[in-house]
Amino acid sequence: MSPVPESGRAAIALLQQLDGLLQQLQRNGRLPEDAALVLPGSLDDELVGPVERLNLLVRWLQQATRLGRTLADGDLQVSLPRDNPLLMPLKALQANLQHLSWQACRVAEGDLNQRVHFLGDFSTAFNAMIAALQRNRAIEEQLKTLTEVLGEGVCLVDGAGGLTFANPEAAKLLGLGQERLSAPTAPTWTGRKLLDFFAAAPAAAAQLRQALEAGHDFHSQDLLLQPAGGVPERPVALVCRPIWQEGQYQGAVLAFHDISAQKGYEKQLETLNRQLQQQATTDALTGLANRMQAERLLQKEMERANRYQHPLTVILLDLDHFKQINDQFGHAAGDMVLRTAGALLRDNLRDSDSAGRWGGEEFLLLLPQTGAQAACRVAEKLRLALQQADFALPRPVTASFGVAELQPAEDGARLTARADDALYRAKGSGRNRVELAERES
């Protein structure tokens, strides 16, 4: 084999250097910062130019790998020199990534009209994400419209009970003005504790607090809402439903409305019911129990007396010569006598006793836990009180009394019949007296 010329050995040495650099590039993905082809001292003049151009290519490769890594690390503002042809694809990629970054910022600000058409599969995925966000926004807009037209206050609280959303009706009820979370900046009340508005009803508020802290359902019509801004408190009906995601409590949605009118109607209805109850059970003239109520009270006291083996005595009294009072002084005077007698009876009985108008000028008195002799003393006291009372008439008003104590196995009809018999004995014995019913064997 003939010897290799000196120029050939120099060329081979250059190729070996170049091969080593390419191997490093292949192995490490980059070239050393000081990578360069070293010119042999005996290099022919015709190889100097190619070697210089190869060194320029090496520098371009160094620059391209370094700047490519910089772009890969997210620095989209790195300056790419214009004199390196290997950087042209990177410059195009940089421009695309910069535009994509701008589009992402626009999306973050709410612009869902952005589309990407220059990054292949990534473009498809990005555009699919935008379509999903548009669908979600449409749903949110529908829900927002729904909550705005509702006459119900709707709000959301986070896991700590802070307000994160309130529809216009909720903001109105809470006294928060017309600020809304959909505005460019969050309302000033964002994060305010919802429980702060319900301190006026401690018991119901404590139950609401427990529900919010534990993530439980809750509903109540006993809450008092204290709106902000000095607005008077008002009763509300409230429903609370917790929000759970993947086993984690995220907060709750609450719906509530003002029930002031309802509470007013309920109060009116209660008053009306009391009035109707009073009318159904009370004698309009005397204010005592009417005949039907007196019979119910008698049955109730008899059951209690039999259950506990306590004595029970009834007194029937009848105003003497009442027809003469009506005939001589008129029915207005008769009504006055009945009213005065009723008040006198009521004022001279114990709280446990009962008095009722039995019919016409006749009255029934119920004395629980009272025997016959004690009841006779009560009757005598009442007889004297009536005789001495001022009825504003030129004649006294007196009454006759019949007293009967409940016997074993006796019903109400028989008990009052015995008292009535005693009453008529008093009438037949000259009136204005007390007679005790005889016990039956």
- CB-CB contact of 290 with 356 (8 Å): yes
What number is the average pLDDT over the span 126-132? 72
Q: pLDDT higher for 200 or 267? A: 267
Which pLDDT band, with edges at 50, 70 and 90, does 281 fall under?
very high
How many CA atoms does the CB half-sphere of 387 hold within 13 Å? 13
Q: Which residues of 80-94 are buried (b: 16+ CB within 10 A; e: fewer)?
A: beeebeebeebeebb
| pTM, entire model | 0.52
pLDDT greater at residue 174 or residue 313 = 313
pLDDT-derived band at 140 (thresholds 50, 70, 90) equals low
The average pLDDT across 410-419 equals 96
Whether 181 shows a pLDDT value over 50: the answer reads: no
Reported as a single tens digit per residue, the pLDDT across 145-174 is 555 556 688 888 898 888 888 888 888 888
Cα 270 versus chain centre, distance:
25
Is the pLDDT at 304 greater than 90? The verdict is: yes
Question: Looking at the predicted structure, is the pLDDT value of residue 182 above 50?
Answer: no
Check residue 185 and give its pLDDT.
46
At 338 the pLDDT is 97
**Cα–Cα dist 198/360, whole Å:** 56
Position 27, amino acid: R
Calculate mean pLDDT across residues 275-287: 90
Q: What is the mean pLDDT of residues 196-214?
A: 85
CA angle 227, 232, 237 (to 5 degrees): 65
| Confidence at residue 301, expressed as pLDDT on a 0 to 100 scale | 97
Q: In the numeric block, which tokens belong to residue 231?
A: 């607005």
User: In b/e form, how buried is each residue of 322-352, taking b as 16+ CB within 10 angstroms?
Assistant: beebbeebeeeebebbbbbbbebbeeebeee
107 has pLDDT over 80: no
Q: How far apart are CA 16 and CA 26, in angstroms?
A: 15
Give the residue from 375, 373, 364 showing the smallest Cα distance to 297: 364
Tell me what percent of the residues of the chain surpass a pLDDT of 70: 84
User: Which tens digit of pLDDT belongs to each residue from 49-97?
Assistant: 777 777 777 777 777 777 778 878 888 788 888 888 877 887 877 777 7
Q: Is the dihedral of CA 337, 316, 280, 308 positive or negative?
A: positive
Q: What is the mean pLDDT of residues 324-343?
A: 96
Model pLDDT, residue 401: 98
Q: What is the pLDDT of residue 217?
A: 93
CA distance 146 to 257: 16
Q: What spatial distance separates the first Cα and last Cα of the chain, rounded to whole Å? A: 161
pLDDT value for 184: 42
Residue in the block written with tokens 């084999």: 1
Listed range (118-127, 271-280, 321-330) with the worst mean pLDDT: 118-127
Mean pLDDT of 366-370: 98
Cα 194–chain centre separation: 10
Do 400 and 328 form a contact (C-beta atoms < 8 A)? Answer: no
SS3 166: strand
- At residue 143, does pLDDT exceed 80? no
pLDDT at 352 over 80: yes
Query: How would you label 161-195 residue by residue, b for 16+ Cβ within 10 Å and e otherwise?
Result: bbbebbbbbbbbbbebeebbbeeeeebebeebebb
- How many whole angstroms from its chain centre is CA 399? 62
Mean pLDDT of 374-386: 97
pLDDT bracket for residue 118 (50, 70, 90):
low
Query: Residue 138: its pLDDT value, please?
Result: 59
